[in-house]
Structure formats: structure tokens, C-alpha cells
Amino acid sequence: MWSAEQVDEVVWSYRMFDELSRGSANDRRRADTDHWWAWETVNRAVLDGSLPIEVLDEMLHDPDADHAHRVYVAAGPIEDLLSDHPEDYADLIAERCRTDRVWASTVEHVWLEPDDWRELPESLRRLVPGPSGSSSRGGGRRPQPPSGRRPRPGR
């Protein structure tokens, strides 16, 4: 179980990593030096399916997060949890989308392989753009995930 203090530190540092990674060369170095640990912490928890959904809640509702950061969270941990651990996360995410417009608008930026998308609950398939190029909310679909959406693995 993650403590409230650990969640706060990870959420803040994860956002700083993302924001600085979009900046100058000096900013990107600072992101790698000071904040890479948060990305690694989240990524490890995503890989083993142990990331508390509350961490994602805090990331998406961080008052200092902008739209670009929420897209980054969608294309990173949310996307990976839905493709690698749907049995543990799809219903939790679908429930949040039913009651929280931030979640609902964020999952519109998730990209899943067709087989992964078909495994989602119907309520979530209506929000996550499907393989045909659309969702019921009018989201577009790219034929493949855009490059450069995540930090390089294995740093």
C-alpha cells in the first residue's frame, strides 16, 4: 500500500518529469536527473499490476496538471494497464469514467490494439477510440500509436 506522502511525491515528480521532458535540453537533463525515479516507480507498478488506481486519480486531478499531462498519463500508465491488466483495471477505470468527466475525457487518448480494445467493458469501449477509427463520442483513431509518446525504456 502506498502512503499518502508517497502518492503525493510520485504524482508531483511524475508530472515534473513529463513537463521538463517537453522543455529545453537543460530541462530534459533535469527531468532525467531529478524526476526519472517517479516514472520508473509508476512503470514498475504498472508492469506488475500493482499501481493503486488512486495514484491515477491524483495524477489526473493534480491542480497543476495541464491537458498535455493528462494525455501523457492516458498514453502511458492507463493505456498499459488496460492492455496488460484489464481484468484488474478495466472495471475500475470504467466506473471512474461514468462518474468523472476528467477520466472520461482522458481515456479518449488511450490507444489499444484491436484485441485489447474488444476486451474492454462496453461502457469503456464507448469512450476509448476503437480500431475502426471512432468511438461513440466521436474520437478519432490513428492506425498505429504515435511515436515519442513515452520515455525511452531501459535508461
128-154 pLDDT, tens per residue? 998 865 444 434 434 344 444 444 444
Mean pLDDT calculated for residue range 3-22: 97
Alpha-carbon distances of 147 from 65, 70, 107, 144, 151, rounded to whole Å? 22, 17, 18, 9, 10
Three cell numbers, residue 30: 533535469
Question: Which pLDDT tens digit goes with each residue over 94-117?
Answer: 999 999 999 999 999 999 999 999
pTM of the model: 0.84
The closest alpha carbon to 54, from 82, 15, 81, 92, belongs to 92
**Rounded percentage of the chain residues whose pLDDT exceeds 70:** 85
CB 39 within 8 A of CB 154: no
Please tell me the predicted confidence (pLDDT) of residue 130. Answer: 87
CB 75 within 8 A of CB 109: yes
| DSSP-assigned states of every residue in 112-134 | --HHHHHTS-HHHHTTS--TTSB
